[in-house]
Amino acid sequence: MFVKSVLVLALFFGVLALINERYTKPILKSQRPSHVYMLQQTGFAPVIDSLYQLDKNARKEFFAALVKSHPKEFRQIDPEIQEHWVEEAGYSFPSGHTFNAFLFAMILSYAILFNRSFPGGRKFFFVPFLWALLVGVSRVAMGAHTAFDVCAGATLGILIGSLFLYMDLTRHWLTRKE
């Protein structure tokens, strides 16, 4: 049962992540704040719209070359964060990491709250939300997203999680006692 549950959840998360990355973000076309910052620091800000016409790999190459050719402008930024900015070459809105974290928090909190075999653990149902909140804050702190991107991702995660839990079959599957 556990393996089946994990596989179903992994498939569910994977499909939603694919939809977000392949369809939602390219339709909304929101630039990452780290990219805007990098281009402003180097005087390339006017090219941001044309830059997003390139495919993701070409944008990665562009940002890698930009960081390498302008070390003075980025010396105050940790090299690991610079590397993350280069790797995160896709669009920004909504935050997929935050979406997944809050979706997972909804499902896990529900399972904790209605766990019949360990009723004393119910008081810890909020812990997954603390973790999800930290994921969202980290995305803003890293410069990968704006607070709006993160709030939208969290809202979508909570809404999809609520819809997932609303279905009787799903609710029964999570709370049934063997």
- The predicted pLDDT at position 174 comes to 61
SS3 per residue for 91-134? CCCCCHHHHHHHHHHHHHHHHHHCCCCCHHHHHHCCHHHHHHHH
In the chain, where are the structural domains located?
1-29+93-178, 31-90
Flag whether the pTM goes above 0.85: no
Q: How many helices (H) and strands (E) in the chain?
A: 10, 0
Per DSSP, the three-state class of 142 is: coil
pLDDT grade for 21, boundaries at 50, 70 and 90: confident
The token pair that represents 81 in the structure block: 């964060």
Q: Give the C-alpha separation, 61 to 53, whole Å.
A: 14
pLDDT tens profile 23-64: 888 888 888 888 888 888 888 878 777 887 888 888 889 889
What region, left, alpha or beta, does residue 88 occupy, with left being phi > 0 and alpha being psi -120 to 50 degrees? beta
